[in-house]
Structure 1
Amino acid sequence: MLSRTSLLVVLLGGAMRRHGWGMLGAVLFLNVMHWLRYATLGWRDARDSLFLLLIYLGLAMLLEYKRLRDAEEASAAVEDGR
């Protein structure tokens, strides 16, 4: 259980470090475009922005997991070659 929790923490930290500003920038851009078109932002827009952030965070964590797995496999391949 502890290793799973620490893996989630590592994935979350890596995802935020690599993609955090991109996530916020994408949501900000979409909200600005919405504001320019409809001249309003409401609670529904805030909820949609939160869902967008959660989806983006999930995708970023999957990318981080793949990056860690690839690094682990490369490390194992180097050790096998020695």
Structure 2
Amino acid sequence: MTKGSLKYYFDSAREKAAKAHPEFKDQLKAFWLYDLRAKAADDTSAEKGDQAAADLLGHIDVRTTKRHYLRRGKKVAPTR
């Protein structure tokens, strides 16, 4: 699958979801394919380390992954 066709299918699915669930339209429109890449990097980093996330994304330097893709926030305790 090419990058263009993946983007096309992702955008189509996002549009269909926004039509089916208008109450989430703004959140769905704000969600990009790039967000899935960052999520995969975050999950991999949390389980296997930052270098594994860099390897998954094909980055030679782990600093690229940290700078552009790792988004996990600080863990906090529940309020209740």
**Normalising by structure 1, what TM-score?**
0.31
Structure with larger RCO (C-alpha < 8 A, sep 6+)? 1
**Normalising by structure 2, what TM-score?**
0.32
Whichever structure has more helix as a proportion of its residues is 1
